Amino acid sequence: MQKHKFHGEKIKNLGPKQWRRSSCWFIEMANGYVHKKDKARRGGVCTLIAERLVIIVGENGILMENRVQWVILKRLLGGDLGVANIYAPNIPKEWCFLWAKMIQKLPRGCRWILASD
């Protein structure tokens, strides 16, 4: 899920409300950031995974000041699979920095699915 606007208990309940039998990895909406152009508050991202697949989540983490939330599904036929939810910066110049950090910091040795706003 991209660009939700939730904090605290609301984000913890977002997963079950959207998909009853799921587990949720998330980044809360960031406070205090307002984009100059449209005055919209910065959102967060959320990854929902079916309860039956949670046992194969091997690693998870957050990168880039809460810009990237990722999980790796282990023991899949064909190898490990990473899923990264990305809340990209609004400034094109910062995109290069984000991609460079992801290349450096995301775990290697698996295929990746990248989702972005």
pLDDT value of position 67: 82
The DSSP symbol for 13 reads H
Would you say residue 117 has pLDDT above 60? yes
| Mean model confidence pLDDT for the chain | 76
Burial class (CB within 10 angstroms; exposed 0-12, middle 13-18, buried 19+) of 19: middle
Q: Where are the extended beta strands (E) located within 13-92?
A: 22-26, 44-50, 57-63, 68-73, 81-86
pLDDT value of position 26: 60
pLDDT in tens, 26-43: 655 554 445 455 455 566
User: Model confidence at 19, in pLDDT bands (50, 70, 90)?
Assistant: low
pLDDT value of position 82: 95
Instruction: Write the single-letter amino acid at 69.
Output: Q
